[in-house]
Amino acid sequence: MVIKTAEFVKSSGRWQDCPEANLPEYVFIGRSNVGKSSLINAMLNHKDLAKTSQTPGKTQLINHFVINESWYLTDLPGYGYARVSKSMRKDFEKLITNYILNRKNLVNLFVLVDARHTPQKIDIEFIEWCGENGVPFSIVFTKADKVKPNTVITNVENYKNELLKTWEDLPEIYVTSAEKKEGGDAILKFISDTNTFLTNNKVNFQ
Ligand code: GTP
Ligand code: MG
């Protein structure tokens, strides 16, 4: 997909305040600091569209971007950020889960996980929650440049095996590096193919 335009629309503190749900929407979600905002920028070839930071918890609102004037890309706050109070963490969780369950035009979640680690409990729990609530998702490994290619392969295999304990079919899996601008094209192709499918089947959110 050629990115002709990528524009920031707005930041929202509640799902009710998000932009009108009139275009197909794709969402980046994952633990705080996993690299959501960085991958959005790399994928769209924009340096600073989504704000990134070395300090976890940078993205605290739901950020909507509109791409090629035809679909939304959404950057969510990270879940599981430990260094805020328990009640604040609960508020974030509520913001995220309410948004996911209520957003009518949500087509797919991209759940980002760190390619350096073995499956983490919090990510697996979130993925299970998606399954229980019928939320479609794909898995995106981030920061692949930070470990040897063989380690990435092993970690992806471990993840698949962990998922196969509870899932019959595996979701789409992408391996990416925002640093090296790798893997974003495959995600864009999935989005482009899905948008074509929605158009051909006359699904529109107008
Ligand atoms: P929150 O908004 O706090 O939830 O974080 P986030 O998931 O949006 O992470 P962000 O994109 O801000 O990145 C966090 C840190 O990881 C930054 O210091 C990035 O430079 C670094 N980072 C992100 N992606 C990559 C990558 O692919 N490779 C490397 N080496 N570093 C990365
Ligand atoms: Mg962020």
Query: In whole angstroms, what is the distance from residue 146 CA to residue 148 CA?
Result: 7
* Backbone Cα Rg of the chain: 16
pTM comes to 0.95
Confirm or reject: Cβ of 142 under 6 Å from ligand 1.
yes
Residue 35 to residue 54: CA distance in whole angstroms: 10
Determine phi and psi for 188, rounding to 5 degrees. Answer: -65, -35
pLDDT in tens, the chain (206 residues): 999 999 999 999 999 999 999 999 999 999 989 999 999 999 999 988 988 877 776 677 899 999 999 999 999 988 876 566 777 777 778 889 999 999 999 999 999 999 999 999 999 999 999 999 999 999 999 999 999 999 999 999 999 999 999 999 999 999 999 999 999 999 999 999 999 999 999 998 87
Q: How far apart are CA 132 and CA 178, in angstroms?
A: 30
Ligand 1 centroid distance, CA of 54 (Å): 7
Predicted local confidence at residue 200, as pLDDT: 95
Overall residue count recorded for the chain in this entry:
206
β-bridge partners, 28: 75, 110
Ligand 1 neighbourhood includes 63 CB (under 6 angstroms): no
How do the domains of the chain map onto residue ranges?
6-196
Residue nearest to atom 13 of ligand 1 (CA): 35
Are 111 and 138 in contact by the 8 Å Cβ rule? The answer is yes
pLDDT at 6: 96
Nearest CA to ligand 1 atom 16: 35
Q: 6-196 falls under which CATH superfamily?
A: P-loop containing nucleotide triphosphate hydrolases (3.40.50.300)
Measured on CA atoms in the order 96, 36, 46, 53, is the torsion positive or negative? Answer: positive
Would you state the pLDDT for residue 60?
A: 79
- Please tell me if the CB atom of residue 52 comes closer than 6 angstroms to any atom of ligand 1: yes
pLDDT recorded at residue 84: 65
Q: What are the beta bridge partners of residue 31?
A: 79
Between CA 197 and CA 93, with CA 177 as vertex, the angle to 5 degrees is 70
Distance 200 CA to ligand 2 centre (A): 33
The CA 178 to ligand 2 mean position distance, Å, reads 13
